[in-house]
Structure 1
């Protein structure tokens, strides 16, 4: 087993159709070799129900898109076509810049709320801009969604109509992906970045098959919840990024 300097592995969820990785882009620009192992994958389903709802735009105030995966579900439900023009004049919302950009490119809609960053902040924007609306918002979502949007918007008498369109699953091929990026567990990264507790749980036993690698790699957590999971597994934590911010991760690596 050998540790390769300036080699970074990102342990995070599978990328979507149009997602570039801001961490990889920034670290590459500073001379680091970056590879990703998918901890979670996404399985779409029930898109016929979503398609029917999308064809009934008159029933809705607009769309709520909480992640790039939600945008992709709409795109696949429409057989990889853009939304019909009747949706364009509605109040459509996206959580975050990445979701906004995918919706613009794949669906042809310029969503509001890209600066929100999370569901609670988005609900405040939606509530302010839709006082008195009597039509629900269409909300395609995954199996791990929270009730934040529903609860917060109900305080302003705004309803949402959810439809489950994808499941988030542990990557069944994670060990094979690890083997691929580490040259069959012989070449390990100087830095390994964990983005979620699921990433910790799904990889810890794989890493323990290579004695000593966890002690030699510099393990970085994204957020305090991930940090807690790493501590529970007795990881030696090199640093913790308080928020999912590529610049903050770079600062930890370069210190």
Structure 2
């Protein structure tokens, strides 16, 4: 039997499937002999939950046409504020119904699944990146002649992290949208990452692939990985989405072997397995 391929995922935390089996291990195992390792890079803290709660309570009539949440962290913040705003749903049922009628724009299946827990429908989860989502939102509203005529009045609530990129908001504003942007979470490096990397390398296990999930993850880990892992090993690089690949190749001058076309475990597993074949 051939040696298993070892995949190192540089992700904030492990994503669990409904069966409690790790979804990445599950998808790779379906395709071949793979072993999955994790190193948590980032820590997140929610902010401005009280402000978001007030928006949900008091601004349902403020002509919002939709809500944008491009990450699970943003949805986590929205869920907490949602529960605080509508804890007594009988008294606020009319306000709650107005928010539920709006489209909620997301990137990726994991974020879509989190949004569904609020009993609202996600849109754009097949986009795969915020750039494509921006085009999706523009097309979504342009399909309505009434909305198109009133494009200058199209106001969206945009829940963001402190590392968000400019393309999506810039593209929407240029297209006539009004964005109410609210910082909902902040990201900081995991202070234990260097120690955890040393522990992993001490296992003397050959790592075949390193997977980056975000530009901020690249910034936190790349120099340490160069010094301790890349120099003496033939490591293949994978990334989730074009934004992360561009950051690696154009900013950090690191060759990316494959870019997963969608931000989910199945797409990543198929892309790496196809490359190995």
Q: Which TM class, normalised by the smaller chain length?
A: 0.7 to 0.9
Aligned length: 242
Tell me whether 1:173 sits opposite 2:192 in the alignment. yes
Tell me whether 1:250 sits opposite 2:277 in the alignment. no
Question: After superposition, what is the alpha-carbon deviation per residue over 1:125-184, rounded to whole angstroms, capped at 9, x for unaligned?
Answer: 34425422635211111112223333322344321101111112222121233245x2x6
- Please name the residue that 1:28 is paired with: 29
Deviation for aligned residue 1:54: 1.4
Task: State the TM-score, normalized to the length of structure 1.
Answer: 0.77
Cα RMSD (Å) = 3.3
Alpha-carbon distance change, 135 to 251 in structure 1, aligned in 2, over 3 angstroms: closer
Tell me whether 1:108 sits opposite 2:111 in the alignment. no
- Please name the residue that 1:203 is paired with: 221
SS at match of 2:207: strand
Q: How does 1:113-152 map to 2 (within 5 A)?
A: 113-119=124-130, 120-129=134-143, 130-131=147-148, 132=150, 134=153, 136-152=155-171
Unaligned regions of 5+ residues in structure 2, if any? 90-95, 240-244, 262-266
SS at match of 2:257: strand
Tell me whether 1:225 sits opposite 2:247 in the alignment. yes
Deviation for aligned residue 1:52: 0.7
Match for 2:172 among 145, 153, 171?
153
Task: State the TM-score, normalized to the length of structure 2.
Answer: 0.72
Tell me whether 1:42 sits opposite 2:44 in the alignment. yes
Deviation for aligned residue 1:209: 6.6
Distance 1:17 1:165 in 2: 23
Q: Indicate the structure with greater helix content.
A: 2
Large movers: runs of 4+ above 6 Å = 16-21, 80-83
Q: Indicate the structure with greater strand content.
A: 1
